Chains A and B, each alone.
Chain A
Amino acid sequence: MNRNRLILIFGYFLLNLVFGTGCWDSRELDELAIISGIGVDKEGDKFNLSFQIINPTGLKGGEGGGNQGSGGGGTETFVVAQSTGRTIFDAVENVRNQIERIPFFSHNEVIVLGRQLAEEGIYPGVDFFLRSPQPRPTQWVLIGSEKAGDILRPKAEMEDTSARALKLLVDFGRQSWVPAINLEEVNAAMTQKRGAYLIPIVRVQGDKGKLFLDGSAAVMKRDKMVGEVNPGESRGLKWMKGEIRNAVVVSELPNQQGLVSTRIFLNRGSIKVNLTPEGIPRVNVYVYVEGEIEDMSGKFNLTSTPGMDLVKKQVALAIKKEIQSAFQKARSLNADFINIGRILYQNHPQVWEDMEHKWDEIFPEIRAHVTVGVSIWRVGEVSKPAISE
């Protein structure tokens, strides 16, 4: 009895091993082409997909790896394969005509969408990645300044793949300028019928091809690109959302007393939408930041409370300017990337029902009142500049 039961149980596990993982869905590591970055371009009515595939033999060895930095004729750490197709999946299958392995998306780190695609609508370009169980919903989505394929081609100087470098750039940049957005958030943002959102734009600079991510971003409405914001404007949005973790604010002191740079490491923000008696939405933005003074040019004496107050005021002014510029841009593009419509819907659903269909006319009229609170505790090691009076 006992032996029979053992045989039964072992038999079951054997069946599982053979049929569950062994037959149809077995994937060996050496059969996979591990993709680290994807570029999606639209050419005419066809999609052009660029895959940045990790070349395992080209990667540096472990700690003791001898031939590090051999340079020159060493094997590449990644290869870029390109294919075209009428749909994304068509292109994914077509790439197998050129690469001998099975594309594997689980370790993909960024999706770069070409500018052409962004202008025509990104949804056809991302649907496959949302639908397939392999790609991560947390991978960053970026928009290439021109062709997405060209973004993936230049080598990274310190990372093995440029997709990895790009990911780290976003990870770092999202603390200050870059309005980073991942695949799941893009999908969520696309569901907003009247809203808009930002996707960072990545460029390639110089002849050697250096990736460059400065915080300028594409303004997207549903899935189409309608304009572009500059770094200051996208940071204006991030102040309001309270997303800044490590940013520098350079503010001017009055009477040509020089510049002061403050590092902001804490940021809270809230956007409140109230209705005036006439029923017009009015936006109140409250932002609170905490920071420390990192550098100062000029003779300004910081040894007094009025001096500190002045610096705080200037910092608040600089932040306010960025926030207002974000509003300005949103109004001029008529793209509600601050998501005022959504806040209005959440807090005044009845009002929103009346306004929703004419939101495009109402939104450019909306004015914002911005309040910025600044707290600066430390001034660094220098209390009184040597050249001050």
Chain B
Amino acid sequence: MKLEKGRIGLKGTVLIMIGYIYGSTAILSPGVGVGQDAWVAQTIGLGLALIVVWVNTLLLARFPGQTFIEINERVFGPYAGKFISLLFLWYIFHLGSIVLIDHLDFVRLMIIPLTPAEVVVFLGILPCIYAAYKGLEVIVRTGQVLVVFTLLYFGLITLFQVQSYDFANFKPFLVTPFPKLAWAGLTAASFPYLETVVFLMILPFLNQQNKVRVAVYLGLFFGGLVVIWSIMRLILVLGDTAVNYVYPSYYAVRIINIAELLNRFEILAAMNYIMIGFLKVTVLLYAAGLGWAQLCKCQDYRPLLLPLGALMALVSLNNFEHVVGNFEFTTQVYSIYALPFSAGLPFLVLVGAWVRGLPGKVKNK
């Protein structure tokens, strides 16, 4: 029984991984707390993540063509396997709701402040449900276009900001005490890089299963480059004041003003954030829907998307009391909360598979 009949290409997968990683970092700019060393922290985070995702690639290589939920069930049997799958599904569901509220908070603050949150969330989740309903191939094809647009936007903004670059902002180099820097690095590894754990639900549908490792590493590496460069740009433009703003990267776009002619680009930034947020939420929603369907042995995952999406919207509205709570959670709690799911679960399953000697001889059933 195959729930997803689509097959995706290497290029598309790498591109949506880049978009997925850049996703909420575009808005939230993690790590600005360590000032001019934020990009170092991001680099450490990327390095850590590159090591940790090795586990994911090993797991996928052991069980080609099987999603994380199916692997769980093979390794731990129906009960323990389902329990682990539930934990995983909770994580991607919750992550989806957090990403949703991050982006919709932004839209509400900057574009339509008086519109009730419920309406904005409703309008935001509907296209995600629709895209997930259309299946993986459609998500990847849409995602490719959106990510290419994002990268174009990225290059354009980089170019336009050149006049406000101040390279002295990088100095002094590495004065942050090491524990603080390491903590920031760990935070960065967890958000955004290790969030790619959701691709354990998507990479099994890669048309060349021997290229899974290539896809993971290329996606993570280039996604990481994009994030690190966006953080560096932020330091170059805003310097120490990045911490003063709720959405520093958006603010950095607002101050673009070239000869009174090229200015007010922030609507471009806002459009880009919405596009990339849509992609991230769609991937998470799709993975959650597929996961639940495989968990419950449903014939089809699509009927689950509407209720899951509705629940995601509701949870996202009730996640946090206020936007400050959201930022507090993202910067202080989230990395610790997410690590057991995003790094722990794959590791656990890999160890389980290794101990039990799976998949053993029954590989080509």
Contacts and interface: CB of A to CB of B under 8 A. Distances in A.
Contact of B109 (A15, A133, A188): A133
Contacts of B126: 12, 15
Interface stretch (A20-28, A230-238, A244-252): A20-28
B113 interface: yes
B115 A188 contact: no
B168 interface: yes
B208 interface: no
A214 B257 CA distance: 24
A137 B238 CA distance: 12
**Chain B: number of interface residues, binned into ranges:** 20 to 34
Contact of A187 (B120, B127, B244, B263): B244
Given A19-B119, A191-B241, A347-B172, A12 B254 contact: no
B172 A137 contact: no
A74 to B, nearest CB: 28
B116 interface: yes
A4 B120 CA distance: 24
A307 to B, nearest CB: 39
A8 interface: yes
Interface in B114-170: 114-116, 119-120, 122-123, 126-127, 130, 168
A128 to B, nearest CB: 14
Interface string A370-387: 000000000000000000
A254 interface: no
B257 A25 contact: no
Given A20-B115, A24-B112, A346-B171, A138 B241 contact: no
Contact of B239 (A137, A138, A188): A188
B120 to A, nearest CB: 8
A184 B116 CA distance: 30
A136 interface: yes
Nearest to A136: B254
Nearest to B172: A349
Nearest to A349: B172
A187 B109 contact: no
Contacts of A24: 112, 114-116, 119
Given A20-B123, A137-B255, A25 B241 contact: no
A138 B255 contact: yes
Contact of B255 (A12, A184, A349): A184
A359 interface: no
**Chain A: number of interface residues, binned into ranges:** 20 to 34
B112 A20 contact: yes
B286 to A, nearest CB: 18
Interface string A4-45: 000010001001100111011100000000000000000000
Contact of B172 (A136, A187, A346): A346
Contacts of B114: 24-25
Contact of B115 (A25, A136, A187, A347): A25
Consensus secondary structure, chain B interface: helix
Contacts of B254: 136-138
B110 interface: yes
A275 B255 CA distance: 36
A363 interface: no
Interface in B97-116: 109-116
Contacts of A8: 130
Interface in B190-213: none
A288 interface: no
B257 A23 contact: no
A339 to B, nearest CB: 10
B351 interface: no
Nearest to A138: B257
A384 B154 CA distance: 56
B175 interface: yes
A188 B120 CA distance: 33
Nearest to B241: A188
A104 interface: no
A188 B172 CA distance: 17
A16 B274 CA distance: 14
Contacts of A20: 112, 115, 120, 123
A191 B241 CA distance: 7
Interface string B219-250: 00000000000000000001111001000000
Contacts of B171: 346-347
A25 B112 contact: yes
Interface in A315-348: 343, 345-347
B251 interface: yes
A205 to B, nearest CB: 27
Contacts of A182: 255
Contacts of B244: 187, 191
A188 B113 contact: no
Interface string B236-280: 001111001000000100110100000100000000000000000
Nearest to B256: A138
Interface in A233-273: none
Given A25-B113, A184-B255, A188-B238, A138 B263 contact: yes
Nearest to B134: A5
Interface of A: 8, 12, 15-16, 19-21, 23-25, 133, 136-138, 182, 184, 187-188, 191, 343, 345-347, 349
29 contacts: A12-B127, A15-B126, A16-B123, A19-B115, A19-B122, A19-B123, A20-B112, A21-B112, A23-B115, A24-B116, A25-B114, A25-B115, A133-B110, A133-B113, A136-B254, A137-B251, A137-B255, A138-B257, A138-B263, A184-B241, A184-B251, A187-B241, A188-B238, A188-B239, A188-B241, A191-B240, A191-B241, A343-B168, A349-B175
The 3 closest A-B pairs by CB, nearest first: A346-B171, A349-B172, A24-B114
Given A133-B110, A137-B254, A187-B241, 6 more contacts: A15-B126, A20-B120, A24-B114, A133-B109, A137-B251, A138-B254
